[in-house]
Structure 1
């Protein structure tokens, strides 16, 4: 009974940290930062720079001039078995030529490296090592004798590449920044059909979990009810 109470308390603290923050989303215990942006034509903007309304404990509504009269809705849930994060993205009345541009990185347990800015901390990206395949990737970080791994899944059709966390003035700048850097992040450009819901998933490597993209809608539905 005591063990169960401890687990519940730890999950509550994890959610408190997630619910208290705005964008970008930062996973607990230095397990990475997810930054999401929009691209319309040659213009791009991070969602944390847009007009943002927190509409619930786990939901956000985004408006911006790039979206015209449209809105983007973000809904999040905690993955209890893997200490991870699942994000559902949907929208209404959005431009037809809209793309999503996102980045993930800064896997580092040293809290002093993150600072107060909204961007992914370049200092926290040092020594992160990435392995990607199609729309999925793994980030390895930590001491060699205690190596940790974070796995990520993006929408099918995402074009993954390594980018330079020093160059985050806009999503497109980061995406085209190149991989020669001491602060690598993984970034992607995704041509989004706004009629669909799309999902992003980030979680610790765990023998209990091996997710694929097609599993994410059902996983989100199940976990969001907990």
Structure 2
């Protein structure tokens, strides 16, 4: 029995999306911790990655090695990583009754390689159908922020940590790319209103976490504790 006085809520699959530097990883950690405090079994993962094979593909892509092959090849690589991730981690965890929270998922391929990179919808759709293997998110939280502000946040974080601001394959793209990317995610949200919720990431970390929790509990009311008898 969970803290609610009812059985642990059914397994759910949640994804976080958005551009570079909007704070997805931080909010994934915070939400996973909040659910764990409520005795809900939760798996926190990321894309590309989550399994050894997918992590190897992640390293290959983010180092920029396949960049010369074109965005279509990148989309195929992301789909290959996603297929292994879904079959090796996400689907088994959901079958075990665990909640899965993923930092990026299929919407990132559609936004980066499709809507921003120009890969045709037909290929994106086919790769998505193959890689998801029926596992579609119950809720997608899209963190939205002006890319100029987001990149200043990334730069300041690196300075605060005493680390050089090393850009990966996508962070090094020009600001116009990231403006188009932002619009891509907003288009995905508009096209999928039943699944996607857009939240402003240009606010305090704690305030954003509170907004996320409000959305999650509204979407899944079984999370709200039952009132104790008077």
In the superposition, the TM-score normalised over structure 1's length comes to 0.31
Compare CA radii of gyration and give the structure with the larger one: 2
In the superposition, the TM-score normalised over structure 2's length comes to 0.31
